[in-house]
Chain A
Amino acid sequence: MTAQEQETLFRRWLNEHLGLMLKVVRGCAMAPQDQDDLLQDILLQIWSSIPSFRGEAKETTWIYRVAFNTALAWRRGEQRRRKRHETFLKLDTSPQVQPSHVDSLPEQEIVEQLYTAIRQLPKADASLALMHLDGLSYQEMAEVLGISENYIGVKLNRIRKQLADQLKGVTDEL
């Protein structure tokens, strides 16, 4: 892969999948500074991973893998190397919810509470919850995590219950 091809693919992924990366970032880090650090790390890892991308996995599966693996290794405050950073992004990761059909609570608040609940899950479960909410199939989730589809089902049942416990008052029949 040439440097030009790497750059083109990176720019396209940035355009098409930045939302996915931001969801992972928000699901794993709370403070804006931490989110900024983690996003930069994920972007760096995605850039470095492009030469190894052979197209065998779906792009979203690949990006999820790289993002989760980076989040797993990332430790709060470790990457504070702000002095020499050039500002390439202006980050306000509070989710912007488009108005739709869910009533009772404003959707933005529901999403905020979901993020809070997800951050309290163990990292592997948080990864699964993020992908499940994003509507990935069992097969795709299994490919990202490296576990069987059957076990994905078992784990998702448990995660739904945990989320329901934490979102009591917001949801009644998870």
Chain B
Amino acid sequence: MNFEALQKAWQSQDAGAKVTIDADVLLKEVRRKQRQFRATIFWRDVREVGVALLSVPLWIYLGREMHRHWTWYLAIPAFLWIAGFMLADRIRQQRRQPKPGDTLRECIESSLTQVNHQIWLLKNVFWWYLLPIAAALGISICYSTWHARHSGFPVIIVAVISALVVALVYCGVYWLNQFAVRKYLEPRRQKLKTLLSGLNENSH
């Protein structure tokens, strides 16, 4: 059998023959899914940026309640920086989303750009997320310890334990981010690169 005969057999299939669609219910479902998708994106942004923003009043409240000194409030600019960074990043990335009518090549290229950016973001999570808060907390712990140094050895123990707890939490967060890169993003990037090279004339 030659290719034309195969093509003829292929084109003689009536792929839609056994599909019955209730168009009204389908439209309703499609609209519902679109709303659901938008809501998911909106709430994801609210959650990520909102947590950083909500930490500000909470931090102020705790500082007042516990009569903390000024170094306690150094974390506030760190929270604001994180919220601002995430918001700006989201807005910037939304503009780079693949558009529905893009060619397959354009779609792969923009998906690859997005995955590369995600990898960059997670690999550098220490610099833009962990370090600002760690620095603020570190200064606060050192300052408190220095001022209470006359109270003796227990103060130093408390400071060391606090620093260790913070460091442990930070290691966990950092490890989780790197795990996500290795487990999900790197394979996805590799897959997209392979797909793109399949469409790249120069690579053949």
Contact = CB atoms under 8 A, between A and B. Distances in A.
B38 to A, nearest CB: 10
Interface stretch (B10-18, B123-131, B136-144, B150-158): B10-18
Contact of A88 (B12, B13, B18, B29): B29
Contacts of B19: 18, 22, 89-93
Contact of B101 (A40, A44, A57): A57
Contact of A52 (B21, B30, B100, B199): B100
Contact of B13 (A10, A111, A154, A167): A111
Most chain A beta-carbon contacts within 10 A, residue among B19, B111, B201: B19
B11 A146 contact: no
Nearest to A3: B31
Given A65-B101, A93-B19, A122 B3 contact: no
**B interface secondary structure, majority:** helix
Contacts of A133: 6-7, 10-11
A28 interface: no
Contact of B2 (A22, A146, A171): A171
B1 interface: yes
Contacts of A18: 15-16, 19, 21
Interface in B182-199: 194-195, 198-199
Interface in A88-129: 88-98, 100-102, 104, 107-108, 110-111, 114, 122-125, 127
A127 B15 CA distance: 17
B14 A143 contact: no
A156 to B, nearest CB: 10
A83 to B, nearest CB: 12
B101 A171 contact: no
Given A89-B22, A171-B2, A124 B104 contact: yes
B104 to A, nearest CB: 5
Contacts of A174: 1-3, 6
A8 to B, nearest CB: 11
Contact of A11 (B23, B34, B37): B23
A145 B194 contact: no
B30 to A, nearest CB: 4
Interface string A17-49: 011101100100000000000001001110111
B94 interface: no
A110 B18 CA distance: 19
Interface in A69-90: 69, 72-73, 85-90
A69 B107 contact: yes
Contact of A124 (B8, B12, B34, B199): B199
Given A48-B34, A89-B22, A171-B2, A114 B10 contact: yes
Interface in B86-145: 98-108, 111
B20 A90 contact: yes
A148 B201 contact: yes
B66 interface: no
A160 B31 CA distance: 40
Contacts of A43: 26, 30
A124 B34 CA distance: 27
20 contacts: A10-B27, A10-B30, A18-B16, A18-B19, A22-B15, A48-B34, A49-B100, A69-B102, A86-B28, A91-B19, A101-B5, A104-B1, A107-B9, A108-B13, A123-B195, A125-B198, A127-B104, A133-B10, A135-B7, A145-B103
7 A-B pairs with the lowest CB-CB distances in the bound complex, closest first: A146-B103, A49-B100, A146-B105, A95-B13, A92-B18, A88-B25, A88-B26
